[in-house]
Structure 1
Amino acid sequence: MAGNRKIAVLSGKGGTGKTLISVNLAAVAGKSRYIDCDVEEPNGHLFLKPFPLSEETVAVRIPVLEEARCVGCRKCADFCRFNALAFLKGKPVLFEEVCHSCGGCVLLCPAKAFSERGKEIGRIQRGPSGSVSVTTGILNPGEASGVPIIRKLLEDAAGEESLPVFIDCPPGSACTVMESIKDADYCILVAEPSVFGAHNLAMVHRLVKLFHKPYGVVLNKCMPGENPSAAYCLENEIPVLGTIPYDKELGLLNSEGSIASRENSRYESLFSDLLRTVYLEVSNEAASDS
C-alpha cells in the first residue's frame, strides 16, 4: 500500500499529540519502523518500550589548533559563519559548543595548523516493540545541535525497501525539523483547537510548503464549539486527515505510557482509519508525481 514511504509527523509546538499519533500509527501499521527525531526530549520509547536495546554513540569532528603552525592570517575566523572561531592576541580561539563541524577551517588554513578530533554528542538506541522497529536519538545535554544525530537516524531508513517509516519530528520549525522532513514523502501536521494552536499550525504549514512536501492536518483534542485550527485549514484549503476528540480515557492511557491502539479496540479503529486516509493521500501523491 504505502511500501517504504516515509511519513513525518510534526507540530508547531510540543504537547499537541505528535508522539501520540506517531506511535499509534506505527503500532496499527503492522510491520513498520518508528524513528524518534526529537533528540532533545525523545519520548516515543516510553510508549513503545523497545527491548532488547542496542546502542551506538554519535560523534562529530571538532578542529584542533596547533598554535606553533598558525601564521595569524584570520582566514579560519573570517570563514566561520557560526562564530565558533574568534581571534584573540593574534591566535584563533575555538568555541566548540557552537562549532557545526563543517571542516572549513581545516581546509582553508594555508599553514595546515588545524587537525580534527572526534567529539561524542549523543547516542542512538534501537530495539523492537512487537512488529515495530524503534530507533531513538538522544542528544547529550548542552550540545548545540542535534542535526548530526538526526542524519544518522534517517540513514537507518534510507535503504528500507518494504516497511512504512514514521518519523516523529522535533516540535517547531528549526534546523532539526528541516533535517527530519527533508526526505519525507508525506507530512502530517498536528494541531490543537485553539488560537495558539492555529498560530503554530501556520508556522509548520509555511515550512512544509517551503520544502514542497505534500501534507495534511490531524486535529487533536477536539471539543464542541469554535476550532481556530479547523478554520485555518478551511481558509487555506488544507486537507483534514482526521480529528481526535478530547477524550479522558485516551488521555489516561497516554499518561500511563500505553499505546492506546493496543489497549482499546475503539482507538485501534480510530488510528487504523487515520492510517488508511494517510496511505490514500500518499498513494495519490505518488500517482500524481509519476
Structure 2
Amino acid sequence: MKLAVLSGKGGTGKTLVAVNLAAVANNSVYVDCDVEEPNGHLFFKPVEIKKEKVSIKIPVVDEDLCLGCRKCVDFCKFNALAAIINKLIVFDDICHSCGGCIMLCPSHALTEKDKVIGEINSGISEEVKVISGMLNTGEASGIPIIKELLNKISSEEKMTVIDCPPGSACIVMESIRDVDYCILVAEPTVFGLHNLALVYQLVKLFNKPHGVVINKWMAGENLIEQFCNDNQITVLSKIPFESELGAINSDGEIAAKSEKYYGLFSELLKTVVKEVEHETVTHS
C-alpha cells in the first residue's frame, strides 16, 4: 500500500504526519520526496546510510559540426540554448533534459553528457526503511530524483509513506502518480484553506481517493471542517494544537513514540487503511 502525504504549503504538518504514520506501521518505508529541503531523516536518524548520485543528460555542442541553423534554439521552450554570432551556447542550469534538440539537429552537432543534480540517501531506522532525495542548489527540476526515489520502492513492501513536496506543482504530481491514497494535511487558517483547495483540485484531477488531516485543531468554528463538509471530504483525524506536541516535533523526535500520541497516529493509520480497503471494494 502506498500512501502520499500532501499539503498546499510548507509548515502545515505534512512531515509530522508522514513520519509518524511510517513509525506506527510495521516494516514500513518512508520516502522523502521533498527533495529541495528533505527533513524526515532528522526525525528517523537512520543508520547504515548508502549514498547514490543522480544524473541527467545535458547537450554538448561540437562547434565544428554546428551549422548555425538555430533549429535547436527555436525548439527549446526553456531557453536553455542560445546562438550568439553563430556560436551555440548551452545553459545547463535551465536545461530540462528532454533530448529534443539532439533529435532535431541536422548535422549531429549535439551529443549528451551526464550532469549530477543531486543524490539519494537510503538507511534504516529500527523497522523503517528511510529513503531521502536531495536536489543540488540551483537545479531546474527535482523530478528525475523523485523518479529514482519511487523506483526504489519494492512491490513487496507492506506500507510505503511518501512525504510529498509542498504545493501542487509538477514534482507533487510525480510523487502521487502511483499511490493508493492521498492524505491532505491542512491547518485551520484562511491561508491554509486556500492551499488545501489547490491540492484538493490536484488529487481530483488524478482521480486519487483522499481524505484530510486537520493539524493544529482547536474546538470551535473551523474553516477546514466546513470546507470538507461542503465538498464531502472525509476528515481522517484532528491533531490538537498543543505546545507539548510542538515541542516534541521541534526537537526532532517522533511523537508516536510517546504514550500520549501513539494512539492518535495509530488510529489515523487504521482509518486510512479502512478507507483504502473501502475504495478497493467499491471499484472492484
Q: Same fold (TM over 0.5)?
A: yes
Instruction: Please give the alpha-carbon distance, in whole angstroms, between the structure 1 residues aligned to 2:227 and 2:49.
Output: 42
Partner of 2:260: 266
Q: Please tell me the residue identity of whatever aligns with 1:188.
A: I
Q: Please tell me the residue identity of whatever aligns with 1:285.
A: E
Instruction: Please give the alpha-carbon distance, in whole angstroms, between the structure 2 residues aligned to 1:183 and 1:243.
Output: 26
- Per the TM alignment, residue 203 of structure 1 is displaced from its structure 2 partner at its CA by 0.6
Partner of 1:70: 66
- Per the TM alignment, residue 67 of structure 1 is displaced from its structure 2 partner at its CA by 1.0
Question: Within the alignment, does 1:33 sit opposite 2:25 as a pair?
Answer: no
Question: Within the alignment, does 1:124 sit opposite 2:140 as a pair?
Answer: no
- Residue number among 36, 39, 42 corresponding to 1:46 in the alignment: 42
Identity of aligned residues (%): 59
- Residue number among 260, 279, 284 corresponding to 1:285 in the alignment: 279
Instruction: Give runs of aligned pairs for residues 100-119 of structure 1, distance below 5 A.
Output: 100-119=96-115
- Per the TM alignment, residue 92 of structure 1 is displaced from its structure 2 partner at its CA by 2.7
- Per the TM alignment, residue 91 of structure 1 is displaced from its structure 2 partner at its CA by 3.2
Q: Is the 8 A contact 2:29 2:157 kept in 1?
A: no
- Residue number among 231, 239, 242 corresponding to 1:244 in the alignment: 239
Instruction: Please give the alpha-carbon distance, in whole angstroms, between the structure 2 residues aligned to 1:183 and 1:78.
Output: 34
Residue 254 of structure 1 aligns to a residue whose secondary structure is helix
Instruction: Give runs of aligned pairs for residues 206-217 of structure 1, distance below 5 A.
Output: 206-217=201-212
Instruction: Please give the alpha-carbon distance, in whole angstroms, between the structure 1 residues aligned to 2:282 and 2:90.
Output: 49
Q: Please tell me the residue identity of whatever aligns with 1:171.
A: P
Instruction: Please give the alpha-carbon distance, in whole angstroms, between the structure 1 residues aligned to 2:146 and 2:61.
Output: 28
Residue 11 of structure 2 aligns to a residue whose secondary structure is coil
Q: Please tell me the residue identity of whatever aligns with 1:48.
A: F
- Residue number among 7, 10, 13 corresponding to 1:11 in the alignment: 7
Partner of 2:144: 148
Partner of 2:215: 220
- Per the TM alignment, residue 163 of structure 1 is displaced from its structure 2 partner at its CA by 2.0
Deviation by residue 1:23-74 (Cα, 9 ceiling, x = unmatched):
1000000110000000000000000111021100001110000011011222
TM-score for both structures, normalised by structure 2: 0.98
Question: Within the alignment, does 1:173 sit opposite 2:168 as a pair?
Answer: yes
Residue 60 of structure 1 aligns to a residue whose secondary structure is strand
Q: Please tell me the residue identity of whatever aligns with 1:102.
A: C
Deviation by residue 1:154-181 (Cα, 9 ceiling, x = unmatched):
0011x32232100000000111111111
- Per the TM alignment, residue 141 of structure 1 is displaced from its structure 2 partner at its CA by 1.0
Structure 2 unmatched runs, 5+ = none
Partner of 2:86: 90
Instruction: Please give the alpha-carbon distance, in whole angstroms, between the structure 2 residues aligned to 1:79 and 1:142.
Output: 23
Residue 93 of structure 2 aligns to a residue whose secondary structure is helix
Partner of 1:254: 249
Moved over 6 A (4+): none
Instruction: Please give the alpha-carbon distance, in whole angstroms, between the structure 2 residues aligned to 1:202 and 1:192.
Output: 12
- Per the TM alignment, residue 78 of structure 1 is displaced from its structure 2 partner at its CA by 1.8
Instruction: Please give the alpha-carbon distance, in whole angstroms, between the structure 1 residues aligned to 2:232 and 2:88.
Output: 53
Residue 206 of structure 1 aligns to a residue whose secondary structure is helix
Residue 69 of structure 1 aligns to a residue whose secondary structure is coil
Count of residue pairs the alignment pairs up: 284
Instruction: Please give the alpha-carbon distance, in whole angstroms, between the structure 2 residues aligned to 1:119 and 1:129.
Output: 31
- Per the TM alignment, residue 90 of structure 1 is displaced from its structure 2 partner at its CA by 2.6
TM-score for both structures, normalised by structure 1: 0.96
- Per the TM alignment, residue 248 of structure 1 is displaced from its structure 2 partner at its CA by 1.1
Instruction: Please give the alpha-carbon distance, in whole angstroms, between the structure 2 residues aligned to 1:273 and 1:161.
Output: 24
Instruction: Please give the alpha-carbon distance, in whole angstroms, between the structure 1 residues aligned to 2:194 and 2:136.
Output: 31
Deviation by residue 1:209-234 (Cα, 9 ceiling, x = unmatched):
11111110000000122211111111
Q: Please tell me the residue identity of whatever aligns with 1:270.
A: L
Deviation by residue 1:110-138 (Cα, 9 ceiling, x = unmatched):
10001111100000000011100000001
Instruction: Please give the alpha-carbon distance, in whole angstroms, between the structure 2 residues aligned to 1:203 and 1:68.
Output: 49
- Per the TM alignment, residue 289 of structure 1 is displaced from its structure 2 partner at its CA by 2.3
Q: RMSD value over aligned CA atoms?
A: 1.0
